[in-house]
Structures are given as C-alpha cells and as structure tokens.
Amino acid sequence: MSLYANTRKTLTVSDLAAMKQAGEKISCLTAYDASFSALIDQCGIDVMLVGDSLGMVIQGHNSTIPVTIDDMVYHSRCVSSASKRALIIADLPFASYANPQQALANAARLMQQGGVQMVKLEGARLDSISHLVAQGIPVCGHLGLLPQSVNTLGGYKVQGREASQAQNMIADALKIEQAGASLLVLECVPASLAKHISQQLTIPVIGIGAGVDCDGQVLVLYDMLNISIGNRPRFSKNFMANADSIEQALSDYHQAVKNATFPASEHSY
C-alpha cells in the first residue's frame, strides 16, 4: 500500500488555499458531537470547527471562558470520530496558550488525542502561531470580536468600526499570515473591512458576521438550527425556517455559502 494513500480523503490546508485561488467559497459550521459531525460531513460542509462556543451552547455558560482543554479534547474526539471529508479545527480555549510552550502542549493534545487537523487561537499571538507552525501544526487565527476577551472588550460588540481599530486589525491580519497561519476567522467586523482584509491576504478568511466577501463563512450550528438558548445573533440565520429536516437545513446553508447568497445585508454590519 502506498505511503501516501489517503483513505479518509480529508480536505487539507492546500485544498482550502486552492478554493480561495479558484474563487470557491468555503463552508464551515461548528460541531461538538459525533452525530452532528456525521450529518454535517454528509452534507458536504468543508470545515468543522470544534468551537469553544460549546461552553455556551452545550454547557450552558454565559461565555466561553469556563471551557477547559480537557473539554476541547473530549468534544474534538467525538467530532473527529465521525467525519470523513471535512477538515476539523479545534479552539485552544481561554488561557491555554499564555506562552508558546503551553500553546504547543495543548495543541498537541488536540491533534493527538482529539484527532483534529488544525487549531485556532484568538488574537495576534504571533510567537505562539510561529512556534506551532514550526512544529507542523496548522493554525487558524481569529480577529475582530474575541469571545475569550469579552471581559476586556466590555461585551459582544462589532469590532473595527473606528479607523484606528480597523488599521490595527489589518496590520494584525498581515502579521498572522506572515507568522505562518493557514486560515483566519473574522468575527463581527464591518463587511467593508472584512472584504479588504480578505483581498489583502493570501490565506483564506472565514467570516462570521463579517459580510459576504470573505472567502468562506462559519456559523454556530445551534444558532442556524434555531435551538440555541436565548436570542440568535443578528448575523446568523434560522436555516430550519424553510427546511423540513436538519439535513435540508445543513445543505441549504452549504449551498447559500457556495452561492454567496448568505450572508445577506441584514446579517452584516
């Protein structure tokens, strides 16, 4: 058997880069368990994010801060056990990457025990990003609204509306790419700023509340299925409203991302 035989045919970082080059939008959803992982995978979604949003939608907290690395490893393993094609990313949770060594130890757990192919961390943590990349760990950056910093940001608010904030975000995005990240998530950012950053970067930019011109979109699964506790954020959409099954809602979301019909202006800032 060839050393290079890839029986799982999992999408790779190179596949995502090629999709950006070809102008094909990348679809992404959060996932936290094996049953949804299998459904999302069967519907053709390109990327699954084991988000630390699980602290809110699974554990019932009012922020992502209580989520631990053990929680993330457990849910990552659940998701990776049931998927075949989607590339799986897991969040490094709050305070699990305070320095590059700690980031490496925890990212290694997510990959070795959780079975994911990439880790995501919030903010321009350039030393940690380059350290992980040097060890062969693909990294996804995350700018804009950083939920792990909700207590310093003073709430869940749109980021980058002021010119100086926007300039800092553009500079951070370029530095994250230079540090070796393979992907960048932009959360709750004005659509025009997200478009500019997407055009400036070579790596794909995945938006959530960041307008239609990003290279791909991600939503929290429970928001788009309309089963989250509390109000759905303005940038999300209830894909169950016109679907008669969960599979239909997932497929409709996938198609809407691919066709750039989601997000519409009412989901953007």
Q: Which of 208, 214, 256, 257 binds ligand KIV (CB under 6 A)?
A: 208
Of 50-58, 133-141, 231-239, 242-250, the segment contacting ligand KIV by CB under 6 A is 50-58
User: Does the footprint of ligand KIV cover residue 71 (CB under 6 A)?
Assistant: no
- Which residue's beta carbon is nearest to the bound ligand KIV? 51
Dihedrals φ, ψ of 144, to 5°? Answer: 95, -135
Backbone angles phi, psi at 148, to 5 degrees: -70, -15
SS3 215: coil
Active site includes 122?
A: no
Let me know the angle formed at the C-alpha of 231 by 263 and 91, rounded to the nearest 5 degrees.
65
The whole-angstrom distance between residue 54's C-alpha and the CA centroid of its chain comes to 13
Binding status of residue 30 toward ligand KIV by CB under 6 A: yes
User: Cα torsion for 119, 112, 31, 149, to the nearest 10°?
Assistant: -40
Q: Which of 25, 29, 41, 51 binds ligand KIV (CB under 6 A)?
A: 51
The residue range among 10-18, 35-43, 51-59, 79-87 that interacts with ligand KIV, by the rule CB under 6 A, is: 51-59
Nearer to ligand KIV, 82 or 221 (CB): 221
Length of the chain: 269
- Is 83 one of the binding residues for ligand KIV (CB under 6 A)? no
Told to check if 187 binds ligand KIV by CB under 6 A, we report yes
DSSP output for 53-103: THHHHTT--SSSTT--HHHHHHHHHHHHTT-SSSEEEEE--TTS-SSHHHH
Residue in 45, 184, 185, 201 binding ligand KIV, rule: CB under 6 A: 185
Other C-beta atoms lying within 10 Å of the C-beta of residue 246: 18
Find the shortest distance in angstroms from Cβ 61 to ligand KIV: 12
Rounded least distance, CB 244 to ligand KIV, Å: 26
CB 92 within 8 A of CB 72: yes
Q: Which stretch binds ligand KIV (CB under 6 A): 11-19, 44-52, 160-168, 196-204?
A: 44-52
- Using rule CB under 6 A, residue 220 touches ligand KIV: yes
Residue among 131, 97, 132 nearest 118 (CA) = 132
Instruction: Choose the binding region for ligand KIV from 45-53, 98-106, 175-183, 236-244 (rule: CB under 6 A).
Output: 45-53
What tokens appear for 179 in the block? 């540090």
Q: Which residues bind ligand KIV (CB under 6 A)?
A: 30, 49, 51-53, 91, 185, 187, 208, 218, 220
* Catalytic site positions: 187
